[in-house]
Every structure is written in C-alpha cells, then in structure tokens.
Amino acid sequence: MADARSRFRTLLPRRSAKLVGGFAIVGAIVLFAILGPLIAQPPRDSDNASLQQPSAEHWLGTSKLGYDVFSQLAWGTQGSLMIGLVAGIIALVLAVVFGVLAGYFGGFADEALSLFTNIMLVIPGLPLVMVIAAYVQRSEGLGDFARSSVLVAIVLGITGWAGSAVVLRAQAKSLRSREYVAAARVAGEKAWRVIFVEILPNLVPLLAAQFIFGIIFAILGEAGLSYLGLGATGSITWGTMLNDAQTGQAVGTGAWWWFVPPGAMIAALGAGLSLINFAIDEVVNPKLRLAPENARKVRRAARAGVGVTETGVIA
C-alpha cells in the first residue's frame, strides 16, 4: 500500500515555483470564469454609453455598442474555457487511440495508424478547420447545431490530436518492450488490460502534458476562427470579442481596453498552462531538473574554493 502510494507520488510533479505559479494563474482564470458572470452585468446590455474609457463603473470600459467589456470578458472566459476543455478531451482520446494502440500493437497496425497520424500532422490544421467550418456552418440540415460552440470544439478536437499521438506512440513503444509488460503478457493478460492497467498509468504525465497542449491549441484555434467570423454564433468567447473589436475599428480609434484584455487573457492562460507543463516535463525528463542544480552546485563549490573548474568549464 505504501509502495503503491510512493510509486504514484513519483508520477506527480514536484512542488516547484513553476508548478505553483502555473496553478495560481490557471486557477485564477477558472475562478474568474465561474464567478465573473455572477457579479458582472449582462454581457449584451447596450444601455451604457459607447467607447467609454475604463472607470470605476466600467472596470474595462465599454465597447462601441455599449457592452461592458469586463462583463464580456467574464462570459468570454467561460466560453473559451469550455471550448478548450471539450476540444482538448476529444483530441486526447483520439491521440490515445491512434498513438497508444499503434505503439502497443506494432507491425501492420502501427504502420497504418502512424501513416494516418503523420498525414494529419503535416496537413496544416487551421486551414483545414476553416474549410470544414465553411462547409458545415452553411448546411441547413444541421439547424442550430451548425453554428454552435460544441461543433467548433468538435472540429478543433478532430484536427488537433496528431502531434500528441506521435509523442504517445513513441513512449508506448518503449514501455511495451519493458520486462513488466512482457511479464503481464506471459501471464496471459488480455491486450486491453495490458494497455489500461500496465501502460496507461505510466503515461499519465505525458497524457497530462498533451492534454494541456490540446487545450492551448484549441483556445488559440478558436480565437483565430472567431476573429475571422467563423466561430460559434450566439456565444461569447475571447475570439468573438476580438472579432467585435476588429469590426468596431478598436485599433484605429485607440480603444485599447477593448482588444487588449481578451488577448492578454489568452496569453496568461497559455503561460499558466505551459508552466504546469514545465513542471511535468521535469518529471518526465529528470535531466532538466538535475542538470541545472548540478551546475549550480559546481559553481558554488568553485566559489568556495573546493572545485577544480576555476576557469569555469562547466559554468
């Protein structure tokens, strides 16, 4: 029992400044997405004066149509996070299916799945998303679903999994040749059990990292799509805010409070998630953590006059 727990602990990122900082940023944004809409005025309330500078009444000013930018930002955060989450989950599931299965089964299945993955990887994602969106959104058969944020998330999910699949395949392939997996197979465990019980738990840090990449990719993709007017109608996201700002000439009229906050939120969320990924990276690849520490130790020793590298071969 204690053994299992300590094994699990080695999978967890060490509590470092990067991890704490990353969680603080992401946590704050998630909290804002949950609480913001509760305290802000309705996002499409156009009774306010238009293009107001930030003030005590309107913390982030108002847009050309008189919408309160703070309230738009609160709802937009919610919308963008939802799309990122849904698309991230879809991409992760597809990446596991294509990557882990290819890596585990090898042979012909590997060849076929990898070929498909690599084709998806080199076909540029965003243009493909734009093409699919342009067709799907104009079709009458789908009704309201055709321009919903769920559909945008699905399209982003099914176009954004290939990179993760490549990473997972490489790792699954290496795990597959380990002795404990061979032992499990000799013991007669079924393929699905080996994959879910023996292999997937050891992929947890990688899965987390790829999930985070998937979310960043989807949120950036959604922002681009919405900015071009191809996003979901009816919902508010960071991308639709930027699209409004573009059509409202926010840059030309110097209404910085309108277009700066949504982009800053995207950058902050991306940075926060990347920080968490850094912490995970240092678990997956201990050299990243140990090498700088060693270099620091050597330098400290040299300064104290103990080391042999006075000219600083390492430092």
Partner 1 sequence: MSYYLRRITFYVVTMWAAVSLNFLLPRLLPGDPAKIMIGKLRRANGGRPISQEMIDAITSILGSDEGSMWDQYVAYWGRLLQGDLGVSSTRYPAPVADLIAQALPWTIVLVGVATVISFILGIVVGAWVGWRRGTWLDHLVPITTVFQSIPYFWLALVLVAVFSVNLGLFPIIGGYDFFAFPAGPEWSWAFVGSAVTHAILPATTIVLSSVGGWLLGMRNMMVSTLSEDYVVTAEAKGLTPRRIRTKYAARNAAIPSLAGFGIALGFVVAGSIVMEQVFSYPGIGKLMIQSVQGLDYALMQGVFLVITVTVLAANLFMDVIYGFIDPRARHNG
Site for partner 1 in 25-64 (CB under 8 A): none
Of 112 and 183, the one with the shorter C-beta distance to partner 1 is 112
Which residues between 219 and 248 bind partner 1 (CB under 8 A)?
A: 220-221, 223-224, 227-230, 242, 245-246
- For partner 1, give the closer residue by CB, 170 or 200: 170
Within residues 157-186, the interface with partner 1 by CB under 8 A covers 163
Segment 59 to 118, residues that bind partner 1, using CB under 8 A: 115, 118
Please report how close the Cβ of residue 193 comes to partner 1 at its closest, in angstroms: 32
Smallest distance, partner 1 to C-beta of residue 195, A:
26
CA distance 288 to 283: 9
Helix and strand element counts for the chain (H, E): 14, 0
| Pick 195 or 269: Cβ nearer partner 1 | 269
Q: State which residue, 200 or 260, has the beta carbon closest to partner 1.
A: 260
DSSP letter (8 states) at residue 60: T
Task: Tell me whether residue 195 or residue 223 sits nearer to partner 1 (CB atom).
Answer: 223
DSSP-derived 3-state class of residue 6 = helix
What values do phi and psi take at 192, rounded to 5? -65, -35
**Contact range with partner 1 by CB under 8 A, out of 67-75, 82-90, 93-101, 260-268:** 260-268
How many CA within 13 A on the CB side of residue 87? 31
Using the rule CB under 8 A, give the single segment among 33-41, 80-88, 197-205, 277-285 that binds partner 1: 277-285
Please report where in the chains the tokens 């042999």 appear, as a residue: 308
**Count of residues interacting with partner 1 (CB under 8 A):** 73
Q: Which of 85, 97, 299, 307 binds partner 1 (CB under 8 A)?
A: 299
Q: Which residues from 200-219 bind partner 1, rule CB under 8 A?
A: 216
Half-sphere exposure of 161 (CA within 13 A, CB side): 28
Please say which residue, 41 or 116, places its beta carbon nearer to partner 1: 116
Which span sits near partner 1 by CB under 8 A: 33-41, 51-59, 75-83, 266-274? 266-274
CB of 127 to partner 1, least distance (A): 5
Please name the residue that has the structure tokens 């967890």: 12
Instruction: Tell me if 301 contacts partner 1 by CB under 8 A.
Output: no
Name which position in 28, 65, 109, 119 contacts partner 1 (CB under 8 A): 119
Q: Which stretch binds partner 1 (CB under 8 A): 28-36, 54-62, 105-113, 293-301?
A: 293-301
Residue 308 structure tokens = 């042999």
- Maximum alpha-carbon separation in the chain: 78
Burial class (CB in 10 A: 0-12, 13-18, 19+), 260: middle
Q: Which two tokens stand for residue 21?
A: 């900082």
Whichever of 135 and 180 has its CB closer to partner 1, that residue is 135
Query: Which own/partner pairs from 261-268 qualify as long-range (CB within 8 Å, at least 24 positions apart)?
Result: 261/60, 261/69, 261/73, 262/73, 262/76, 262/223, 262/238, 263/238, 265/29, 265/73, 265/76, 265/77, 265/80, 265/238, 266/80, 266/219, 266/220, 266/223, 266/238, 268/25, 268/29
CB 315 → partner 1: shortest distance, Å? 8
- The phi-psi region of residue 143 (left if phi > 0; otherwise alpha if psi is between -120 and 50; otherwise beta) is left
Site string for partner 1, 126-155 (x = CB under 8 A): xxx-xxxxxxx-xxxxx-------------
